[in-house]
Amino acid sequence: MVLGVVGLLAPIPIHVAAEPAAPSARCTLESGPIRTVTRVVDGETIVLDDGKVVRLIGALAPRARDADASPGAWPPELDTIKALSDLVLAKRVKLAFAGRRFDRYGRGLAQVFLIDGGRDDWVQGTLLAGGYARAYGLPESFACARELYAHEAGARSRQLGLWGNGVYRVRSAERSVDLMKRRGKYERVTGTISSIGRTKSATYLNFSNDWRTDFTARIDKKVLAANPEFDRSLDALANKSVVIRGWIERRNGPLIDIADPSQLEAGDDAAPADAPKELRPAPPEGAEPSAVNLKSL
């Protein structure tokens, strides 16, 4: 069974990618099993009644390491665990899939829908809309990026949850020393692209004239080959303000590797006023009575 994920309004003006980086307007998920949640491991991981561990792909929960805080003592992390527990613990959920099914630790990667007690919440969307998580993706797991970022944008514009905490503020590309201290952490970095450099293996978005020490974004040739329109439009980004999201790495200076066009956003950090208040997946075609049905919300 296939679950089609579409917005309720079209076109949907949300704060995601700049024009060249716009993700697909449609997300298609494969409908999966219905199980009961028996344990919440952390703010993005649950255990089902069949023993399987599932990671809520697309919603990155806060962790103590985000702030170099003591384990178990970071309020945003605890808030998200409580929110997720209140939402799904001991309740029935439906899984849906797209792209990779497992992460490198063997945990399942799924979109999760609460179907217990007459409710039909999209769990990732609910967490993002409440400011309990940040939207993200993994290679081969960027399905529903448009919908996920729309939920996040509303929370971010209202400074809900973690967005009211300075640890999760957008970072400046000009502060390369500070960015290097955030190595290994997931960040949103804003700045003006000074030049675009192309090599046989990748394209680089340079944010200064000294790529050896300053912030850079890298896009592998495989990503460009899979997204030709995105590739063709990159040269027009010179001297444009953008936001890059991803994990900070060290390659000469600080760097974010872009694995999907959705990691590149327009420079204005405010969500548009006409962004939809609600954006939920549509129900699967021919869904059985127990399947998720989000039309009623």
One domain, residues 117 and 209:
no
Q: Are strands 53-56 and 108-114 parallel, antiparallel or unpaired?
A: parallel
Inter-residue contact 179 to 255 (CB < 8 Å): no
One domain, residues 21 and 76:
yes
Helix (H) or strand (E) holding 264: strand 264-266
Mean predicted confidence (pLDDT) in 133-140: 95
pLDDT of residue 259: 96
pLDDT of residue 26: 60
Does residue 217 belong to any structural domain of this protein?
yes
Which alpha helices (DSSP H) does 101-254 contain, by range?
123-129, 145-157, 176-181, 221-226, 228-233
One domain, residues 155 and 18:
yes
For residue 236, pLDDT over 60 is answered with yes
Inter-residue contact 45 to 55 (CB < 8 Å): yes
Tell me the CATH number at 147.
2.40.50.90
For residue 243, pLDDT over 70 is answered with yes
pLDDT of residue 18: 33
One domain, residues 259 and 202:
yes
pLDDT of residue 47: 98
Does residue 196 belong to any structural domain of this protein?
yes
Q: What Cα–Cα distance (Å) separates residue 144 from each residue in 57, 61, 89, 166, 210?
A: 10, 17, 24, 27, 36
Sign of CA dihedral 133, 294, 109, 86: positive
Does residue 280 belong to any structural domain of this protein?
no
Inter-residue contact 207 to 194 (CB < 8 Å): yes
Domain end: 164, 189, 204, which one?
Answer: 164
Q: Comparing 23-37, 59-73, 98-112, 254-268, which segment has the lowest mean pLDDT?
A: 23-37
Does residue 276 belong to any structural domain of this protein?
no
Cα–Cα distance measured from residue 266 to residue 204, given in angstroms and rounded to the nearest whole number: 17
Mean predicted confidence (pLDDT) in 150-169: 96
Average pLDDT, the chain: 84
Does residue 252 belong to any structural domain of this protein?
yes
Where does residue 199 rank: exposed (0-12), middle (13-18), buried (19+ CB within 10 A)? Answer: exposed
Q: Give the residue with greater pLDDT, 17 vs 101.
A: 101
One domain, residues 230 and 104:
no
Q: Per residue in 266-293, pLDDT tens? A: 875 544 333 444 455 554 444 443 333 3
Q: Give the residue with greater pLDDT, 286 vs 17.
A: 286
Tell me the CATH number at 249.
2.40.50.140
One domain, residues 189 and 218:
yes
One domain, residues 159 and 40:
yes
One domain, residues 206 and 250:
yes
Does residue 130 belong to any structural domain of this protein?
yes
Coil, strand, or helix at residue 65?
A: helix
Phi, psi of 121 (to 5 degrees): -80, 140
Give the number of other CB atoms < 10 A from CB of residue 130: 18
Cα–Cα distance measured from residue 164 to residue 158, given in angstroms and rounded to the nearest whole number: 8
One domain, residues 81 and 157:
yes
Inter-residue contact 267 to 242 (CB < 8 Å): yes
Does residue 271 belong to any structural domain of this protein?
no
Helix (H) or strand (E) holding 59: strand 59-60
Tokens of 137: 């993706």
Does residue 290 belong to any structural domain of this protein?
no
**What is the DSSP code (8-state) at residue 11?**
S
Q: Comparing 18-27, 45-54, 72-81, 85-94, which segment has the lowest mean pLDDT?
A: 18-27
Q: Per residue in 67-118, pLDDT tens? A: 999 999 999 999 999 999 999 999 999 999 998 999 999 999 999 999 977 7
One domain, residues 96 and 219:
no
Q: Comparing 3-12, 27-36, 202-211, which segment has the lowest mean pLDDT?
A: 3-12
Domain end: 111, 140, 164, which one?
Answer: 164
Cα–Cα distance measured from residue 232 to residue 227, given in angstroms and rounded to the nearest whole number: 9
One domain, residues 12 and 144:
yes
One domain, residues 128 and 253:
no
pLDDT of residue 295: 34
pLDDT of residue 116: 78
Total number of domains constituting the chain: 2
Inter-residue contact 230 to 196 (CB < 8 Å): no
Domain that holds residue 190: 171-266
Domain end: 125, 148, 164, which one?
Answer: 164
